Amino acid sequence: MLYVSAADGSIIRALDVSVSNGAVTNILGGTSRAGYSGNAALDSSLVTFNSPLDLFYKESGGTASDPIPSHLLFVSDFNNFMIRSINLTTGRVEDFIGTGGSGAGNGVNTVTTSTQLRGPRSMAMNDGFFMYSDTNENCYVRAYNPFPTDETLFSTLINQNRTNFVLGNYNVCGTFGSVSSLPSTDPAARLNNPWGIGVDGQDGTTFVASHSAHCIIQITSGGTMTPYIGTCGTMAPSSVASGSINSSPANAQDSLLRFPATIVMDPLSGLEGNFFFIDFSDVATANIKYVNRVGSESVNFFGGASMVAPNTLETVMALVGSPGWITGLAAFENWICFSSGIGASGLNNITCRDRSTGTTQVLGVPGIGGIQLELEHEGASATSGASSVTFSTPSGLAFDRDGNLYVVERGAHVIRKIARWF
């Protein structure tokens, strides 16, 4: 299933493409009206969101080494200034981090319900810790320690069941203050509108897209931060969006990026340390790029149409002429999906491609955005073909363990689910 969230409709919906042309089925959460439903655990049909932006799925957990439970879908509820969790087994929604009000979030070792946020965006797990980026002048990454003891992440102590800064300088948004390495606690190790977060589950290396600094930062498990891709502080001109902006080696810092956004680690066995990311996210010629940082052989895409050599960064999808300002990205097995729909003339749909064969599955009517109210009643069972359904500003995407896809519709304030179609 694929889950989708919409910003101005404030709901989460489920999309079923298991039939030949796909079918939109039940609402996962939200009411299509912006709002905040309170901090009590509620059934998803009773929950209201306000411009939900991104999704993160947690497959495993509930163990001593990974205390946060499994099969949870986390939502960055952007204009409610919160991160919320959806239990995909029970359908219950709970507030996870945030107070419901905007704030600097500069507290040290605060409980989750007292931690303020201004613009929650991307989320990731790192060795049992829950990490999230906060934007809109906060410009940092915080982490939650779910363990029953005080623990350290990136050389920063986080008390038990508390959140704390681990990356960035909450006093100052800005460009990373060095072309070389800095400890994560150094005030010059700045982020500017941090967006995507990716974590190599093998060695704990973390990557953060410093969106408005136009670069990707690498952080070792010990907390050393280094500019990894792009020249921090220098934006690539829009004219080269589909041109020669690839690099070998992958971490060539003289390469140029333009508003890098979502980062997704490669799900395929043996390639888990490689990652996809969105570049040129602010223009109609967005790119999806791939970094082959751990593979000893070239990684092939779409029947050999694209090949990424070891230690190389390459564009695998150049989305020229797609006026959607790509922001959502997800990968499961051989499938890569992206959402298009931030701009006023956005496509308002989701496109998925099989990286092996190049087969394409398009979800939603290109160029037509809208909220389908007939699909948003509590307990709705109405279905609609995936090719004819309309989305309202689809944004964040996430696959669950079974290959179902979830989509956050920012414009409809909902999250929808698309049943596995492959």
Contact indicator for 82, 75 with CB cutoff of 8 Å:
no
**End-to-end Cα spacing for the chain:** 10
Contact indicator for 396, 76 with CB cutoff of 8 Å:
yes
DSSP classification of residue 69: P
Query: Confidence class of residue 129 from pLDDT cuts 50, 70 and 90?
Result: very high
> Which domain does 253 fall in, by range?
60-369
CB atoms inside a 10 Å sphere around CB 82: 27
Amino acid identity of residue 322, one-letter, is S
- As a whole number of angstroms, the distance between CA 111 and CA 128 comes to 17
pLDDT of residue 248: 66
CATH, residue 312: 2.120.10.30
Contact indicator for 390, 407 with CB cutoff of 8 Å:
no
- As a whole number of angstroms, the distance between CA 164 and CA 155 comes to 12
Residue (of 158, 162, 210) closest to 185 by Cα position:
158
Task: Please give the structure tokens belonging to residue 387.
Answer: 């090719």
> Is residue 405 scored above 60 in pLDDT?
yes
Instruction: For residue 347, tell me if it sits in a domain.
Output: yes
Instruction: For residue 25, tell me if it sits in a domain.
Output: no
Residue (of 335, 334, 336) closest to 326 by Cα position:
336
Residue (of 55, 78, 2) closest to 262 by Cα position:
55
| Average pLDDT of the segment spanning 290-319 | 88
In the chain, the largest separation of any two C-alpha atoms, in whole Å, equals 56
Query: Confidence class of residue 296 from pLDDT cuts 50, 70 and 90?
Result: confident
The residues, any chain, with a CB within 8 Å of residue 264's CB and separated by 6 or more, are 196, 198, 275, 276, 277, 329, 330, 331
- As a whole number of angstroms, the distance between CA 94 and CA 75 comes to 10
- As a whole number of angstroms, the distance between CA 411 and CA 9 comes to 5
| Average pLDDT of the segment spanning 219-234 | 91
CB atoms inside a 10 Å sphere around CB 14: 28
Instruction: For residue 416, tell me if it sits in a domain.
Output: no
User: For the chain, what percent of residues have pLDDT higher than 90?
Assistant: 40
Q: CB-based burial of residue 246 (10 Å sphere; 0-12 exposed, 13-18 middle, 19+ buried)?
A: middle
The CA-based angle 49-54-58, given to 5 degrees, is 105
Instruction: For residue 321, tell me if it sits in a domain.
Output: yes
Number of domains in the chain: 1
Which single residue is written with the structure tokens 């007292």? 114
Q: Give me the torsion for CA of 118, 121, 122, 126, rounded to 10°.
A: 20
Is 418 or 133 the better-scoring residue by pLDDT? 133
Query: Confidence class of residue 178 from pLDDT cuts 50, 70 and 90?
Result: confident
Task: Please give the structure tokens belonging to residue 92.
Answer: 């219950």
Instruction: For residue 17, tell me if it sits in a domain.
Output: no
Query: Confidence class of residue 30 from pLDDT cuts 50, 70 and 90?
Result: low
Cα→Cα distances 328→93, 102, 145, 190, 365, Å: 22, 24, 27, 25, 17
> Is residue 379 scored above 90 in pLDDT?
no
Per-chain mean pLDDT for the chain:
81
User: For the chain, what percent of residues have pLDDT higher than 70?
Assistant: 76
> Is residue 363 scored above 70 in pLDDT?
yes
> Is residue 67 scored above 90 in pLDDT?
yes
The residues, any chain, with a CB within 8 Å of residue 340's CB and separated by 6 or more, are 319, 322, 324, 325, 326, 346, 347, 348, 349, 350, 351, 394
Query: Confidence class of residue 383 from pLDDT cuts 50, 70 and 90?
Result: very low
Q: SS3 for 112?
A: helix
Specify which residues 225 forms β-bridges with: 182, 219
Instruction: For residue 277, tell me if it sits in a domain.
Output: yes
Pairing of strands 405-409, 2-6: parallel
Instruction: For residue 165, tell me if it sits in a domain.
Output: yes
Instruction: For residue 378, tell me if it sits in a domain.
Output: no
Contact indicator for 73, 1 with CB cutoff of 8 Å:
no
Residue (of 187, 188, 184) closest to 206 by Cα position:
184
